[in-house]
């Protein structure tokens, strides 16, 4: 009986490293530095929306003012002051953000 428990434990421990592997997101980061206690992070533009013949890319940045997204349109409409972008999560909860 003890042998069965030991075998089960060894099997479980051998699987643990596969659970602990994280995704390497370093290639998305364009700038990562701290200036006077403020962490500044900027990513390369990521294409997040592709629909037919147009796409939208986002460049995310963070500084002492918070998180800002620069949005790029390729083949789509131009953005205007006051336009909105809406994100929806898996629970269909919508968050609206205005272009400033």
Beta bridge partners of 50: 55
Number of domains in the chain: 1
Angle at 87 between CA 75 and CA 91, to 5 degrees: 140
* Domain membership flag for residue 44: yes
Query: Contact 77/86 with Cβ under 8 angstroms?
Result: no
Threshold 0.75, pTM exceeds:
no
Give the range of the structural domain holding residue 80, as residue numbers without chain letter.
25-98
Strand positions, DSSP E, 1-100: 29-35, 38-43, 46-51, 54-63, 66-74, 84-88, 94-98
Query: Contact 45/56 with Cβ under 8 angstroms?
Result: no
* Domain membership flag for residue 4: no
* Domain membership flag for residue 56: yes
pLDDT of the chain, 100 residues: tens digit per residue: 455 545 555 545 555 555 555 567 778 888 888 888 888 888 888 888 888 888 888 888 888 888 888 888 888 778 888 888 888 888 999 998 888 7
* Domain membership flag for residue 86: yes
* Domain membership flag for residue 1: no
Q: Residue holding tokens 């206690």?
A: 37
């Amino acid at each position: 009986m003890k042998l069965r428990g030991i075998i089960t434990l060894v099997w479980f421990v051998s699987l643990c490293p596969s659970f602990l592997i994280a995704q390497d997101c370093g290639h998305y980061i364009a700038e990562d530095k701290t200036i006077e206690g403020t962490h500044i992070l900027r990513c390369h533009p990521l294409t997040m929306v592709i629909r037919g013949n147009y796409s939208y890319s986002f460049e995310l940045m963070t500084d002492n003012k918070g998180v800002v997204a620069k949005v790029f349109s390729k083949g789509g409409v131009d953005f205007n002051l006051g336009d909105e972008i809406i994100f929806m999560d898996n629970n269909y909860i919508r968050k609206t953000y205005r272009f400033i």
